[in-house]
A and B are shown apart, each in its own frame.
Chain A
Amino acid sequence: MCGIAGILQATPEIQGLESVLAGFQRALRHRGPDDAGLWISPSQNIGLAHTRLAILDLSPSGHQPMISQDGRYAICFNGEIYNYHALRSWLIDRGHVFESHSDTEVLLHLYAEEGERMVERLRGMFAFCLWDEAEQTALLARDPLGIKPLYVHEARGRLAFASELRALTRSGLFKPSLDVQAVRGFFETGTVPEPLTLVHEVRMLEAGHTLVWRADGAKRRSFWRLEFGREFAGDPVQQTREALLDSVRHHFVSDVPVGVFLSGGIDSTALLALAGETGHRGVGSFSITVDDPAADEGAVARRTAQYFGSDHHEMRLDAEVARALFREFLKHTDQPSIDGLNTFTVSALARQHGMKVVLSGLGGDELFGGYSSFTKIPQMLRLHPLMSRLPGLPTLLQHGRPQHRRLADYLRGPGDVPAAFSALRGIFSQQEAAALTAWLADSSDRTDGPDLTDQADPRDHVSALEMTRYMRNQLLRDSDVMSMAHGLELRVPLVDRVLVEKVAAIPARQRLLPNKGLLTAAVSELPEWVVNQKKRGFLFPYQQWLGGTWGGAFAEACAGAPVPTQLWYQKWSVFMLKHSLEVLGLRS
């Protein structure tokens, strides 16, 4: 897990390439405190930079950018390849000789063997750039579910990339300008929808895509797509349990101890239970407790930790402590989001206790149907034909609460799953988002979301949207930035390609059961007090905090806004966007 960046150019146009790469390293230093390196090709047109957090093969032979023994290939890589042992053995059988025990070297050899198709064999989270000096070709790739980010800037035959947006905007390679579509997307959803970024000149390489770059152009290709099963002959519980154990086992591949973020909910408890089942009993578990009884999961997490015998640590957070952390959090924010402080806080706690790798239960709700969207959206689809025909109802709703205004949008629209999803998961209504965009960006362009194939079962479509929008654009992006802010590697065993493929093969009627019934049946170790508790989510009492001592800065940010901002996440989104505009040098 690391920070990567680089420049690919047809001819060595950039003066002082080394100092640009050194600038990348400085911008990404927090992601990899253990080591740093840079590499420039003999013809001075290609440069790769790397900052390293050492997790596998702690010796200097894991240094990056890594160059193949024959000098033909160079790579900078961010992530972990969990099946690298198996790939390494396969490559050794085919005559490859290895100098290190790192997964990075496996990528070099695998590329030599398989070319671009190598990505289809990887199990893990990854973003990398691999340069082939003989073919004068670069392969950039990002993992299927979008766990690791990769930002790309292309202009005039030149390509620059980095793990964080800020590294590119501060490079001086281009003058960043605001992407108004991204701003509007942010106000509608609470996050900048991939592949857009707040910066018009930079795009995210889409999840599950490769980009092959040559001096004469770049070509993108999708190498994985999410598919849901319609018929399944086996035992869903057994298939799920085997897939879960397999994923957890793979996610423990590490040369340093691995911990677990324990929220007290089903997903993280399932990880703790399965860790014990795979022979990892002494893991550290980390929880945040808050001063709001309705949101606090501390007591449940404590009881669960005691039950499974984990080495439990917790941090008590009140409005004042959280406010101090929030200042630090702002320094590390890359793209704006309405979440992330919880991951930032619990990452700080884990790092204080010496952890370098932690597992998170992120992804369980998306895969096993834990969100209310799985029941509410089918209801909304059924009601749309009737409610959209009631004269005056949308206008009436338009004058109601924020949620009602988004429902009005839905009733005016086609009544499909994406529209229902936007209404349910949204932050502002479309009109409000347009007005806020015009206020801050002096424009009001319309954005289109990423294309998603319609699924036969609307719940599958909800699952696809949860995974490709909320989880990818918000949860995973925040998790990456906020854990790396502390030099901590966050792993997500429930967002594993192989697990997702095996579980998604089970039809929705058996997979998306109330209260994540398939997951709880597959992990029979889950105690009753975890399974039957009321869902709380992993959320701090922001409405209370922003209504109290935190209020000033947020009220100031929202002063003069053209639309009402009553709810905490509306205030938060305006504040965060303004902050990001400043950090990214986009403030006019």
Chain B
Amino acid sequence: MMLVRAFISHYRRHPLQLAALALMIVLATMLWTGVTVLTDQARTSLFQSEQAVATRVHVVRTDAQPVGVDDFAQLRMAGVCVAPWLEIQRPPPEGRVIGIDPLAMGCFGEAAPGGNAGELDGAPFLDISEAAKLADDGYDSRLYLLTANGSVVLPEGYALRDFSLGPSTGELADSFLLNLDALSLLVLLITGLLVRSVHRLGIAQRQQSFDLLYRFGVPRERVRQFLALELVVLTGICVLPGLWLGAQLAGMLGGGFGQALDSLFDVTVYAGSAESLPWQAAGVMVVLVLAVCLVDWLLPRRWQTAAVSARGRLLAVAVLLFGLVGVALAPGLGWVFVGTALVFAGTGWLTPGLLALLARWLSDRTDGKASDPLTRWRRRELAVMFSHLALPVVALQFAMATVLAVQALVTTFEQTFDEWLAQRLEAEFYVEVPRGADAGLAAEHLQSLAGIGAWHRVIRGEARMTVDKGESVPVDLFALTPVSDLVAGWTLLASIDQPWRGLEQGGVMLNEQLARRRQLDVGDNLTVTIADSVISADIVAIYADYGRPAGEILVAGGALPESFRARFESFSVNPGDLDMADIREQLADVWSVPEVTVRDNASIRALASQVFGQTFLLTRAISLLTLVLAAIALLIMGWVFFTTRVWYFRLLGIWGLPARAIQRQLRRLSVTLTLAVTMAALPLGIWLTWVLVSRINPLAFGWSLPMDLYPLFWIELGLVAAVTGLVVAHLMRRQLVQRAGEAQGET
């Protein structure tokens, strides 16, 4: 009991210490809970998005006649779950609307095409009776009968065809989720550092009490046991409000995103907030808090002293270098993660010492302004602060580096995704060539149309590429004819001058995946077998092809031999001065079919962009939360630290420095501290961005993301750091004024 009273007595005399640790555990739990919930939501949202835009199946008549109401009724009465999907194309600004029958959708259960259609308000869904009225008004319309994927037994006279609501986001989504997981791990690391920093500060301040207890005969082991017990109780109490706050925060952020994003075709893809508290996050936090606070007892004491010795620093440099080299040369993802962990460990180990060293070096300089005693004092003091605030400084550095990397990653993803969409949906409309129809006739017809915009014919099929030792491997074949302006927006990672002309003249382009896998580059010669012809061609460009693993070669349509049979053909068309409905009718006449499938690429593009938009927002929220917590930690630490240094700062006044000048010095001191941390975070953040886009993605998926830097964001981050410094200075000033008042009261 005596020991319990002694422990409680300490906190009665120093309640702020207890409050600081409790606050940090609450905030850390809140952050981790928020991150866990948001990450889960991002994952679920992406999954739902994928489901919403996934390829479906529709039923067609084998006599090539368009399906109608009678077909719908007949199929339903035969027990086939089909639902009508009546697309109406109207001129801008109204655009496309889709008539659906919610009652018919019932048989799909949760897997209804288009997901939960939301309100039937014409954006774009409306009740099919309303859509039918529009069709009756003369707008271009087309009825589809959608059915579920999988085994559907159809009556005679009907067949299944693919029906795509939008492009599949494929591996792009997987890549994003992988990076999100890596980000969560970083957040956990930062959280641990912050908790440890506050806990260690408290332990240092209580050291005298522990020594006293030891002199009274309490074994050190017993004190440790009580400290562990104290931490367990405190953590147990504090994770609960942290858990609740984290869930609230995630709900608030997530809810805001959900409202802000109309999402794809009004399909609800935002996963929403979890109904119950994520208790597993609490478990992780309890383990983390205990681990980071009690790890000192588990490590041999000489290890701890060695860490800050010269030999320790050398070891840190070795760890850092080993990590950097490891990441650069890593053959697999696992090694990249290990290498990244080593780089973080080495950086965190070295940063406070290096910053302190730099501050001391600057203080020792005697030239020019540096000879000013106050400047020298401030730099010395800064060096002390870097040493004493090592853990929060490192935590802030990590948090800032993470924010930098996430910002770059998200922005890069957004740009990449736009380019990816532009590449695939380059034209306003996409016309599917009906099975058995002659695409050449349509090409001739389009060629003859005056006033039509850019268009090209897309041919897809298979080819074989000869690799080492005469062996050949199958690759996807992609051909374009004519090579129109529609390809102007393509991202070429490497190319000869005028690559598209090179393609027309018999060159070949490769997608990045194939080039990486076969270590091919621009200028290399390639032997490709297409149908029964063997073609030898130079590689004229390597193009970015995000989102799928398959290797692909691109040739001009003229290079295809007569014997080649396309697997799939389509036209990408900008109608220009013409009306797409007219072009559609003309193509139907050319092909002698009653209906031609035309898809509005702008809608698909808008749809896909919205799907990713919300996930990017969630990621930004995670990094912002991390930064906020790191800043709060620094505030707490700065506050506690300055409390212990107040007597020292007061000496400045005793030496004759006016109060206003002292405050100015403190302001400069704290802002320099936070800005220095920002500067230290920059290289780490840039390196982390590179790891995410250039190492993790190629190893995981075979394609890289472009590496872009955003200096404007660095400035924004610097401003945040400066504001944090100013708040710390403000707290210091309050401490000084308060203590000065107390001192006067005592005299």
Do they bind each other? no
Interface residues of A (CB under 8 A from B): none
